[in-house]
């Protein structure tokens, strides 16, 4: 229970594409296309468990309502208050989940199953046989919902229609994992699309590159996850080796699934921004974070870094600190993640401070880059256990890494 194989989601998506892509391409009506792709998204969630589909139907209905209210009140005196309330309401489920995980998971399953039964009796019966779930995809949906509300408040959108929010909320390729897309990335492409063969070709190649990352690189390294369980039984050398392998696994797994999502989008004619740009080849923390889970980093840059004064010299360090802490804490609100945030904040701020005093060389040879790449990779790999360990495991694990058991 509480485990879901993301590959199953993509396998169902790509097999459904045998029907979905031709139908989508053959019917040029935009409203039909939005509703059709939205329904495909609902169906894919329903396959995991009807309760998950019901939860997201409620979540995106709420998002639609909130962004309409924000659109209407944005220019009024109390508009900011309404906007703040809307953001808090959308954030609430995710924050409660991160703070009170056990209670949230239990009640999430109980309540959404009850709702599924109330909505359609047989959905409820089928739902009881499906696995007990974590709220899969909730973080990504929260960020997408908030992004919509923020942009509405800033005037980028007037209030969107239900079919537009339904389409954005249930856009199939990014339901569970992948880039945190913005509505602008899919808004226009749904209207056109004549490069069918070219889109299919590029999409297939991206999907294949994702499969290669997942199965050829990440899958053989998945045993390295055991380093977080069996650290007491292994030597320092083995622990370091497995930790570095896990860092490789971690990237290729996530980047592979992102490629699958972007490739699937491309097959339908949507150009979704890349989510990773080979972060392990970068030579400094800033370049690393600008190429790691880029859609999320950009979300926090837009909504935390810039508002906190990241573009002004006297407030830039504060903005960096808040941005990296937000990036850390979305994983989980816990002590290890606070340490993770502080660690990378130190790296980023230290790099910025140094860069201001000693501008980087314009062009570096591989021989010059390689030690930096290795150092940065190791710097990041050391922090990765903080994403996996519980608070009580942190000290014993890192002690074992330096030979103290």
CA–CA separation, 189 and 205 (whole Å) = 20
Would you state the structure tokens that stand for residue 290, as one six-digit string? 């600008």
Binding status of residue 388 toward another protein by CB under 8 A: no
Q: Segment contacting another protein (CB under 8 A): 23-31, 174-182, 227-235, 378-386? A: 227-235
Binding status of residue 100 toward another protein by CB under 8 A: no
Q: x-or-dash pattern for another protein, window 148-187, by CB under 8 A?
A: ----------------------------------------
Q: Segment contacting another protein (CB under 8 A): 15-23, 62-70, 89-97, 284-292? A: 15-23
Binding status of residue 12 toward another protein by CB under 8 A: yes
CA–CA separation, 249 and 246 (whole Å) = 5
Given candidates 196, 217, 287, 342, which one binds another protein under the rule CB under 8 A?
A: 196
Would you state the structure tokens that stand for residue 259, as one six-digit string? 């490629």
Given candidates 141, 152, 224, 316, which one binds another protein under the rule CB under 8 A?
A: 224
CA–CA separation, 241 and 265 (whole Å) = 36
Least distance to another protein, CB of residue 380, Å: 20
- For helices 50-73 and 162-169, angle between their N-to-C axes, nearest 10 degrees: 130
CB 280 within 8 A of CB 373: yes
Binding status of residue 242 toward another protein by CB under 8 A: yes
Binding status of residue 23 toward another protein by CB under 8 A: no
Distances (CA, A) of 172 to 115, 216, 405: 22, 25, 47
Given candidates 31, 84, 88, 128, which one binds another protein under the rule CB under 8 A?
A: 128
Residue number, 84 or 233, with CB nearest to another protein: 233
CA–CA separation, 160 and 66 (whole Å) = 11
What contacts 320, CB < 8 A, 6 or more positions away?
305, 310, 345, 348, 349, 352
Sign of CA dihedral 271, 161, 116, 40: negative
Binding status of residue 365 toward another protein by CB under 8 A: no
**Contacting positions for another protein (CB under 8 A):** 1-3, 8, 11-12, 15-16, 18, 47, 101-102, 105-106, 109-110, 121-122, 125-126, 128-132, 196-198, 200-202, 204-206, 209, 220, 223-224, 226-227, 229-230, 232-234, 238, 241-242, 263, 266, 274, 277-278
């Amino acid at each position: 229970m509480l485990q879901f194989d993301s590959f199953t989601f993509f396998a169902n998506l790509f097999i459904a594409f045998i029907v979905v892509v031709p139908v989508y391409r053959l019917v040029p009506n935009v409203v039909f296309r939005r509703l059709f792709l939205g329904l495909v998204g609902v169906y894919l969630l329903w396959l995991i468990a009807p309760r998950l589909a019901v939860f997201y139907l409620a979540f995106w209905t709420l998002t639609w309502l909130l962004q309409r209210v924000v659109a209407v009140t944005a220019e009024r005196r109390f508009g900011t208050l309404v906007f703040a309330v809307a953001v808090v309401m959308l954030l609430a489920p995710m924050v409660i989940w991160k703070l009170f995980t056990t209670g949230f998971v239990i009640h999430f399953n109980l309540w959404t199953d009850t709702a599924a039964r109330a909505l359609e009796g047989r959905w409820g019966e089928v739902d009881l046989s499906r696995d007990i779930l974590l709220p899969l995809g909730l973080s990504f949906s929260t960020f997408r919902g908030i992004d919509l509300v923020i942009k509405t408040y800033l005037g980028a959108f007037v209030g969107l229609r239900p079919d537009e929010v339904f389409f954005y909320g249930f856009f199939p390729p990014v339901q569970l994992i992948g880039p945190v897309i913005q509505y602008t990335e899919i808004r226009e492409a749904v209207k056109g699309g004549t490069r069918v063969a070219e889109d299919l070709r590029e999409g297939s190649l991206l999907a294949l590159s994702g499969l290669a990352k997942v199965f050829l690189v990440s899958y053989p390294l998945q045993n390295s996850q055991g380093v977080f369980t069996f650290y007491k039984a292994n030597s320092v050398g083995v622990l370091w080796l497995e930790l570095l392998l896990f860092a490789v696994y971690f990237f290729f797994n996530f980047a592979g699934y992102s490629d699958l999502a972007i490739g699937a989008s491309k097959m339908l004619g949507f150009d979704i921004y890349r989510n990773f740009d080979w972060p392990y080849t970068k030579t400094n923390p800033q370049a690393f974070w600008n190429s790691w889970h880029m859609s999320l980093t950009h979300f926090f840059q837009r909504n935390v870094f810039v508002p906190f004064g990241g573009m002004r010299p006297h407030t830039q360090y504060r903005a960096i600190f808040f941005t990296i802490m937000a990036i850390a804490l979305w994983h989980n609100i816990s002590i290890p993640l606070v340490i993770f945030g502080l660690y990378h904040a130190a790296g980023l701020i230290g790099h910025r401070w140094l860069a201001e005093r000693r501008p980087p060389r314009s062009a570096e040879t591989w021989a010059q880059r390689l030690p930096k790449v290795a150092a940065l990779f190791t710097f990041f790999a050391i922090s990765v256990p903080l994403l996996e360990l519980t608070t009580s495991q942190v000290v014993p694990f890192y002690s074992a890494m330096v030979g103290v058991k």
